[in-house]
């Protein structure tokens, strides 16, 4: 099964003619992703790696029936590209760009409330991968193997670290999602938990959070009431300086203690989630529940 | 990007929010002429981004232009806390009867802008938030709805503001501040204190404005201010080449370089767990070339507190061979403090091979985060 | 059962201190509606018919746990009052006012997409009544009796006519909803059909439509796929002049024929809906299916 | 509220949409002086709300101010179709190469504004919509998203506009028109034709703007125009007392009064089904008092085609006793044509009692819609 994407997902790449867009289109195709269209305004009619390029998402959908999009567009154009995909009827939009203005994502987040069948992943995301099936993003797919663990992470590097350790020890993944570490991600843990809970392939869920925001706390609330599968969480930033900005603007510890690693760990523990001390520890805990 | 008080007040004035009459002093040229443009007594305020200026002697009263000039000469260009004072704001003293607090920021639960107001403003606002939370009024603004009259009515009602004139002025200020917050991609706009004067008018006596760094590019006026912002030596160096540099701990002696803030945090956590302390961190971002990796190492190596550099990479869009090349390049060019390199992910094998082939004495290879933390501590001994 | 409101529904009246608001609060109370609060800015602290008046909806909810609101406010203030109720967490908002600007309702309609557990009834609505239980609106409740028919109508007068005929013949109603005849009603037939379909008390559904718009066509589509109960429809305006504005601005026949009585009747018939020739005919048809 | 072409063009110009250079002629004073403000040849266009002006001789060319003045004298103040011409628009002739169509209105399915564009504009646009629907481009604008660049790109792409200069101008015009549509609570803004001139510029050669009547109150400039709008005698009378009056059928002889448009439509349907024809209808709205009911009857009775008046009320907020009092009052004051009254709902009994007690010969009581229709037909014979 897996969630969000698989071999049949008709994927379009926005910004396909750019350096990163082109390079990762090739890698996605190589991995088996069903990339059916690219979009770059003004470049319609050309091809990239055999994939037809269109001027607009609407046109690409009309011609190829694309259902998901991955955006390799610069942060200042991300807002427009997201709106275009959402307005055109794309149901999964994965955004890679780092440095998307928070106001833009605030608008997208609230617009998404009115389009609740649309999943916005990112920005600042490595993408989504269902190992052995398909990927939409730029992660190094060699470290992934197919298996029973669903993973969601706010940090790309920490998720690679964790997946790498899992794979070394023979534990595969159903789907891995890069939520992105921005202040306002399009979607966070809680939006994907119901999908993992329902997915037959997924037997355990790994959440990699970090300080800042309250998404881990929301997830804890949801898990307590709705998730029967084992959940393991790793929260980065216990020793990060208070109030310092860590690139992920989300990693700001609020004055009241909400958003701190301590708070998150307490909330998750209370919801029955096992807390790992490090990426390697995630795998040790996984072994016990699988 | 944080703005100086005087910059925030320029924006406030542009949006119709009143501030005390003032002059800005950025040099000692024509000082007395400049200071004669306002009435006295006035307050001379150092323009730095740190808080607690008053307690630290950064805000002083002056009864005449002459007195203000003397104060200015003693403040401008001097060190204040960790900054150098590049500007002063000299403001006419006002006749206040009450101090309110007003701010707009992002509510992290609802992801909506939230207006925060208290009739008990001033320097103790954080204590009030802690001990008398009921005195802090919060009003969420759904971006799909926008700021409407009922929000303003609710705010006044919850704050128990009965004076219609004050209610009206507060509503106008909130409207203006909300517009500024949205227009300028602000993370925070704060007026503390929002002073109620004896003549029953409201005036912004301070201004804290923080802009989303990712959105500064679309505000020409901010771009101009941004290049003049005070940064530490290392922040400035990093910013020039578009890296993020962060001071972590004054007592630390490890410099950490990584390709993402999540990994940086995990490194800091691991070093702390093994008993070490990180001094500073540098985020290369995704996809760094060898040239840029070398630049990053050079910046971190400039910090005299750094005795060891940990470079921990898990390559996705970043390629480990580029990292390895950059490490060797930096090592050969500047002979930095000992480096511990831990490479994984994209092109890991090529990267490790490059480092092993180079076989430089001061470059240690680690094979996991724990291993890296251990080797860093050993190298720092 | 009934839908939307019953005796326990905690109702607040916006504009309670106005002439109509006051008069109809008395009538709603007399009928048994659980009116727990009134709202008129500046009149907080007073009482109307024993109901406490508050300055804001938020305050009224905090003090009385009101869940539904009926608006007796002038059309030019309706937009603000609707937004206030929706932002404060009210789940059913009934709007009486006639002449609410279309742009205001367009904003409300699209905002409602982001708050899909909120029902906006009206504007230009007679309200909602669950006979024998409660009402939120200004309809003459004497013509209603409790029973098995769920009714929705774009026209107040035609619904009275129909209900009156039903009651005369001993056929009662579960819930009657005045959708309102405006170009953009907050909610239309399709939004209430699932509720009637699920409601145990409701054994048959009556829709009173009219020319203009495509809500009857949407309802037909929904009925075809999702409604098992018998549905009877009456469409007013077969002989209305084409393109003339009939007060209900919604009653404009578009040039292409979409929105015409003929179109609506064809779509509904195809969905298995029985078409009545007049309000009286509705009752004849009802007798056959009950 | 429909605007005259010249009024629509004033709004267009305010929003930066170009129109041909023109003068407005509302009186014959200083006529030649006024007409000398533009170049010739020009077009003299009667300002009426009816369509098809060109075919009916309402648009004529003039090669000089003198010729234009002569035309103006023959048009101004004269009848044109069902209107009297109160204004002329005299516009410089332009050198066109293509005629496009552009409009924004509400899409009734999605309830979103829809931009409608065709490269085949001009007087045959309706035929094109019917026979070549693929030449009509529609772009929906989700109000939660607003008009964005991608909408404009999509529009140009779907319309196959390749010339970048035209694409850019069209985008600017669509932006302006959309802003006007939203700002002014428009039901429709239409430019047909949107002319492409020989110098490759786009210009609005006509303007149709229709405003939501419920929203006119919030536009001071429209309120001013509104009171000068041409109305039929009966519409004017009804509007003055805030009723809605509608002409239904020129051959009809029944006037219908009701308290809601749904009931009006049902009455019209019933009368048609029984073989009659309605001439005109008047909507009292909700909650009419006796005084207002009498006013409504007086207006309908003024229409010489009306031989019988049907008053059908189902009272909710309207009370039947008020209706009955109003009928009796009007009857006694003006002895109108025969009235058939059918009252139901709120205070029905009191209403019927009042009518029965009054026992006026020309007031017939009906007990259902069908009964009412039958009695109306009998009375009209």
Q: For B160, which residue in chain C has the nearest alpha carbon?
A: C55
Task: List C-alpha distances in Å: D261 to B314, C252, D115, D275, D313.
Answer: 70, 12, 30, 21, 11
Cα distance from N-terminal residue to C-terminal residue, chain A: 18
Residue C80: which of B142, B149, B157 has the nearest Cβ?
A: B149
Please report which confidence band the pLDDT of residue A147 belongs to, taking 50, 70 and 90 as the band edges.
very high
How far apart (Å, rounded) are the C-alpha atoms in residues B266 and A168?
Answer: 20
- Taken as a whole, chain B contains a residue count of 381
For the segment A254-262, the average pLDDT, to the nearest whole number, is 68
* A228-237, A265-274, D266-275, range with the lowest pLDDT: D266-275
A:35-64 residues touching chain D, CB 8 A cutoff: 41, 44, 55-59
pLDDT under 50: residue ranges of chain B:
none
C84 interfaces chain B, CB cutoff of 8 Å: yes
Q: Active site includes D190?
A: yes
- Burial of B348-374, coded b for 16+ CB within 10 Å and e otherwise, reads bebbbebbeeeeeeebbbbebbeebbb
**Do D213 and C210 lie within an 8 Å CB cutoff?**
no
Q: Does A114 touch chain C (CB under 8 A)?
A: yes
Decide if B368 and A153 are in contact by the 8 Å CB cutoff: no
pLDDT digits (tens, 9 = 90+) for C139-187: 989 999 999 999 999 999 899 999 999 999 999 999 999 999 898 999 9
> Can you give the pLDDT at residue A88?
97
DSSP-derived pairing of the beta strands A231-236 and A274-276? parallel
- Please report the pLDDT score of residue A257 as a whole number: 61
Interface residue C107 vs chain A (CB under 8 A): no
Banded pLDDT at D317 (limits 50, 70, 90): confident
Q: Does C87 touch chain B (CB under 8 A)?
A: yes
The length of chain D in residues reads: 381
**Is A113 at the interface with chain C, CB within 8 A?**
yes
Beta-carbon contacts below 8 Å between A and B? 172
Could you give the angle at the alpha carbon of C116 between the alpha carbons of C111 and C119, nearest 5°? 85
| Each residue's pLDDT tens digit, C228-251 | 999 999 999 888 765 544 333 233
Q: Which sequence positions of B are flagged as catalytic?
A: 101, 190
Mean pLDDT of A120-131: 96
Cβ <8 Å between D145 and A86? yes
Helix, strand, coil shares of chain C, percent, nearest 5, are: 35, 25, 40
pLDDT value at D107 more than 80: yes
- B333: contact with C, CB 8 A cutoff: no
* CB spacing of B150 vs C55 below 8 angstroms: no
By Cβ distance, the residue of A44, A57, A87 closest to D142 is A87
Tell if the CB–CB gap between C116 and A115 is shorter than 8 Å: no
CA torsion angle D226 D231 D234 D239 (round to 10): -10
Compare all CA atoms of chain B with the CA of A113 and give the residue at the minimum distance. Answer: B144
State the average pLDDT for chain A: 92
Contacts of A120 in chain B (CB under 8 A): none
Does D95 reach chain C within 8 Å, measured CB to CB? no
Residue among B144, B149, B150 minimizing CB distance to C111: B144
A136 burial class (0-12, 13-18, 19+ CB within 10 angstroms)? buried
**Any C CB within 8 A of D360 CB:** no
Q: A239 to chain B nearest CA, in Å?
A: 5
- Residues of chain A with Cβ-Cβ distance to B212 below 8 Å are 101-103, 249
Distance from CA of B246 to the nearest CA of C (A): 39
Q: Which residues of A touch D154 (CB under 8 A)?
A: 56, 58-59
Distance (Å) from the alpha carbon of C150 to chain A's nearest alpha carbon:
29
Nearest CA in chain A to B1: A245
Q: Is A221 on the interface with D (CB under 8 A)?
A: no
Interface of D with C in 228-287 (CB under 8 A): 244, 246-249, 258-266, 268-273, 278, 283, 285-287
CB-based contact (8 Å) between C181 and chain D? yes
C117 touches chain A (CB under 8 A): no
Phi, psi of C191 (to 5 degrees): -75, -25
For residue C49, count CB atoms less than 10 angstroms from its CB and return exposed for 0-12, middle for 13-18, buried for 19 or more.
middle
| Set of chain A residues whose Cβ sits within 8 Å of the Cβ of B141 | none
- Active-site residue (options: C22, C141, C248, C281): C248
Q: Does A77 touch chain D (CB under 8 A)?
A: no
* Residues on chain D touching C167 (C-beta within 8 angstroms): none
Crossing angle (nearest 10°) for helices D369-380 and D261-273:
60
Do you know the residue count of chain C? Answer: 290
Judged against a pLDDT cut of 60, whether residue C268 lies above it is answered with: yes
Question: What does the pLDDT read at residue A211?
Answer: 87
Q: How far is A104 from chain C (nearest CA, A)?
A: 18
Q: Say if residue A253's pLDDT is above 80.
A: no
Per-window interface: A 23-82 vs C, CB < 8 A: none
CA distances from B285 to A34, A115, B258, C181 (A): 29, 32, 8, 57
Q: Residue A92 pLDDT > 70, yes or no? A: yes
- Closest of A170, A177, A174 to residue A122, by C-alpha: A177
| Chain B residues in contact with C44 (beta carbon < 8 A) | 157
Return the bridge partners of D105, or none.
D114, D188
Q: For residues C105 and A2, what is the distance between their CA atoms, to the nearest angstrom?
A: 41
Residue A190 confidence (pLDDT):
96
* % of chain A with per-residue pLDDT over 90: 83
**What pLDDT is stored for residue B371 in this prediction?**
92
Structure pTM? 0.91
Q: Do B150 and C87 touch (CB under 8 A)?
A: yes
Are B266 and A157 in contact (CB < 8 Å)? yes
Q: How far off is chain A from B313, nearest CA to CA, in Å?
A: 8
How many C-beta atoms surround the C-beta of residue A212 within 10 A?
28
Q: Which chains form contacts with chain C, at 3 or more CB pairs under 8 Å?
A: A, B, D
Count how many pairs of residues, chain C against chain D, have C-beta atoms within 8 Å: 170
User: In terms of CA atoms, which chain B residue is nearest residue A210?
Assistant: B262
- Record: contact A116-C115, CB cut-off 8 A: no
Amino acid A249: pLDDT: 26
Whether B262 and A157 lie within 8 Å, measured CB to CB: yes
The confidence score (pLDDT) of residue A242 equals 59
Q: Which residues of D touch A106 (CB under 8 A)?
A: none
**What was the pLDDT predicted at C277?**
92
Alpha carbon of B142: minimum distance to chain A alpha carbons (Å): 8
pLDDT in tens, D201-226: 999 999 999 999 899 999 999 998 87
Q: What is the mean pLDDT of chain C?
A: 92
Segment C86-91 long-range contacts (CB within 8 Å, at least 24 positions apart): C86/B145, C86/C111, C86/C112, C86/C115, C86/C118, C86/C120, C87/B142, C87/B145, C87/B150, C87/B151, C88/C56, C88/C57, C88/C58, C88/C61, C89/C61, C90/C12, C90/C57, C90/C61, C90/C66, C90/C118, C91/C67, C91/C117, C91/C118, C91/C119
Q: Annotated catalytic residue: which of D6, D100, D101, D181?
A: D101
pLDDT in tens, D33-58: 999 999 999 999 999 987 778 888 99
- Which residues in chain A are contacts of D152 at CB distance < 8 A? none
C54: nearest CA partner in chain B: B157
pLDDT at D235: 82
CA nearest C112 in B: which residue?
Answer: B144
């Amino acid at each position: 099964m897996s969630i969000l994407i698989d071999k049949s997902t008709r994927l379009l790449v926005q910004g396909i003619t750019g350096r990163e867009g082109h390079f990762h289109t090739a890698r996605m195709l190589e991995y088996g992703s069903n990339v059916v269209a690219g979009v770059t305004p003004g470049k319609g009619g050309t091809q990239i790696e055999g994939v037809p390029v269109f001027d607009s998402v609407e046109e690409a959908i009309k011609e190829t029936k694309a259902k998901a999009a991955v955006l390799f567009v610069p942060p200042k154009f991300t807002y427009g590209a997201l709106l275009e995909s959402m307005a055109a009827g794309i149901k999964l939009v994965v955004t890679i760009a780092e440095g998307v203005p928070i106001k833009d994502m605030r608008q997208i987040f609230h617009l998404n409330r009115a389009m609740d069948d649309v999943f916005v992943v990112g920005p600042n995301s490595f993408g989504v991968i269902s190992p052995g099936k398909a990927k939409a993003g730029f992660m190094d797919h060699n470290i992934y193997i197919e298996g029973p663990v669903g993973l969601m992470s706010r940090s790309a590097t920490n998720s690679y670290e964790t997946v790498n350790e899992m794979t070394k020890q023979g534990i595969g993944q159903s789907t891995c999602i890069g939520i992105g570490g921005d202040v306002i991600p399009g979607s966070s843990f809680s939006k994907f938990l119901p999908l993992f809970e329902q997915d037959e392939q997924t037997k355990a869920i790994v959440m990699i959070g970090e300080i800042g925001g309250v998404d881990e706390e929301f997830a804890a609330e949801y898990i307590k009431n709705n998730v029967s599968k084992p959940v393991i969480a790793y929260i980065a930033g216990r020793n990060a300086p208070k109030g310092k900005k860590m690139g992920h603007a989300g990693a700001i510890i609020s004055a009241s203690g909400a958003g701190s690693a301590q708070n998150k760990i307490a909330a998750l523990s209370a919801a029955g989630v096992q807390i790992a001390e490090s990426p390697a520890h995630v795998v040790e805990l996984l072994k016990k529940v699988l | 990007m944080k703005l100086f008080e005087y910059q925030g007040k320029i924006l406030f004035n542009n949006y119709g929010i009143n501030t005390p009459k003032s002059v800005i002093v950025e040099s000692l040229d024509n000082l007395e002429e400049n200071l004669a443009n306002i009435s006295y007594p006035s307050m001379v305020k150092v323009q730095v981004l740190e808080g607690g200026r008053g307690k630290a002697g950064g805000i002083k009263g002056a009864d005449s232009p002459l007195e203000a000039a003397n104060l200015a000469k003693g403040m401008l260009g001097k060190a204040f806390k960790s900054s150098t004072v590049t500007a002063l704001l000299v403001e006419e003293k006002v006749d206040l009867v009450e101090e309110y607090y007003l701010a707009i920021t992002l509510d992290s639960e609802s992801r909506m802008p939230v207006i925060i107001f208290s009739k008990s403003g001033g320097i103790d606002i954080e204590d009030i938030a802690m001990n008398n939370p009921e005195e802090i009024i919060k009003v969420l603004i759904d971006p799909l709805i926008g700021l409407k009259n009922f929000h303003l009515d609710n705010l006044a009602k919850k704050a128990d503001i009965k004076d219609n004139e004050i209610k009206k002025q507060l509503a106008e200020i909130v409207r203006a501040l909300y517009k500024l917050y949205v227009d300028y991609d602000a993370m925070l706009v704060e007026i503390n204190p929002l002073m109620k004067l004896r003549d029953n008018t409201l005036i912004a006596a301070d201004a804290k404005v923080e802009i989303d760094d990712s959105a500064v590019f679309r505000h020409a006026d901010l771009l101009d201010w941004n290049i003049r912002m005070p940064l530490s030596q290392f922040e400035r160096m990093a910013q020039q080449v578009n890296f993020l540099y962060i001071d972590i701990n004054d007592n630390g002696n490890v410099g950490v370089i990584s390709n993402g803030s999540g990994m940086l945090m995990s490194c800091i956590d691991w070093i702390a767990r093994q008993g070490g302390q990180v001094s500073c961190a540098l985020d290369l971002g995704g996809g760094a070339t060898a040239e840029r990796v070398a630049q990053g190492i050079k910046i971190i190596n400039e910090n005299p507190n750094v005795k060891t550099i940990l470079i921990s990479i898990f390559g996705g869009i970043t390629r480990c061979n580029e990292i390895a090349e950059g490490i060797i390049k930096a090592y050969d060019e500047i002979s930095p403090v000992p480096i511990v390199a831990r490479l994984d992910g994209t092109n890991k094998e090529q990267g490790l091979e490059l480092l092993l082939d180079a076989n430089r004495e001061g470059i240690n290879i680690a094979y996991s985060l724990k291993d890296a933390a251990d080797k860093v501590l050993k190298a720092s001994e």
